[in-house]
Amino acid sequence: MMESVYEKLKKAQSNQAIIDIYQKNSDIVYTGRVKFVTTEDFIMQTYNDFGVDDGAVFLKNANVALVDFDSYDVEEMMKKISFARLNNLYGYNFHPNQRFDETDESLYNQLFDYLRDNFLLSMIITKKGEKYTYTEGMLMENNENQMVLQAVNKFDFVKQSLMPIDLDDLVGIEFGGNELSRLGKVIKTLSFKNHVDPVVFTDQADIKRQILAAQDTENILIFNFKDERKYFYVGQVLAANEVEFVIKVISMNGTFGGYVWMRYDVVSKVTNNSDYLRVIKEFVELNNTEDLFEIDMLNAQRDFDSQDNLLLHIIQQAINEHELFKFKTLDNQEIVGYPGRLDESTWELVIELFDYDELNETPARVVGIESICEISFEYLRLAYLEKNL
């Protein structure tokens, strides 16, 4: 007889097993340990992509497609948790200051009261038709059909509203994690009434002027790009000259996120003031106060000289130190590898590939340095790859 989802969750809870939860009609997979479970729903302590504690999630049993105890992903997560602990990577763990009663058929009302009474920010995930919506905010009211959320929009302070949410549309509630915990702390000091219109530069000459002016300042900028990528960088300009620049990246949690070297012509726009930048600055200040901005295993104190040819200097240093980089080229290739040898007569760089298919690929790639448009280095994902060779 097949085990029910509830029975699998109870087994995971009693064994304190690390599991993957796959949901119906969703590509979001949660990895962690089941803390509380009833016949209707459960609460799971979760980890982020680096094995760092990242709060918890409430989900409905009926939405679970698969409880996976034994997979490559679960095995990888166990390695990442060990990596995080060995390298003192700390996150926000889920330690409720009350136990939830599992003899009730549902945890939902208990969790609602816990989040509301403790003024904890949460992420409410809903689904209407095929569309998923993710809304951060404070839970305000609750009845048998609806909850009311005081929505918080960290990108646009004008868009704060009381939002009724039908419980039939509710998919999950994330809470207590790294970004939500920080946001919950800073909204107490950052007035969401003081909206600023974003100051954005899209003209190439203006973009260059803004970047040159920002070097050696504490100013934090947002960088968007001309290619199809879905992400943007937030960071401080450490060095800039007429053709290139280096930024110190700041993660969405306001922590050190590595370095990126770029050419100006990959940037589509630069933002030097916005509501979101004010939130990130508050995160950085909070992390500095709590001694959480820098990560022990990464060097957040590198110096770069604008008078140098920055690209050549960074590559030469990486060759000397045998340092792992991620390269982006003008034809939109991404190459993860070690700079091996630079031929100064042809300006071709040999990159020893970090991971390659022995049947179909050679262990090295040769690229002309004029085709390199971006280099990322000294960040957590590369550090994890190197440590787990």
The owner of tokens 């390695």 is: 79
Q: pTM (2 decimals)?
A: 0.91
Per-residue pLDDT of the chain (389 residues; tens, 9 = 90+): 578 999 999 999 999 999 999 998 888 899 999 999 999 999 999 999 899 999 999 999 999 999 999 988 899 999 999 999 999 888 888 776 778 999 998 999 999 999 999 999 999 999 988 888 999 999 999 998 999 999 999 999 888 889 999 999 999 999 999 999 999 998 877 766 688 899 999 999 999 999 999 998 989 999 999 987 889 999 999 999 999 999 999 999 999 999 999 999 999 999 999 999 999 999 999 999 999 999 989 999 999 999 999 999 999 999 999 999 999 999 889 999 999 999 999 999 999 998 766 666 788 999 999 999 999 999 999 999 988 76
Half-sphere exposure of 205 (CA within 13 A, CB side): 0
* Pairing outcome for strands 170-175 and 162-166: unpaired
Where on the phi/psi map is residue 132: left (φ > 0), alpha (ψ -120 to 50), or beta? beta
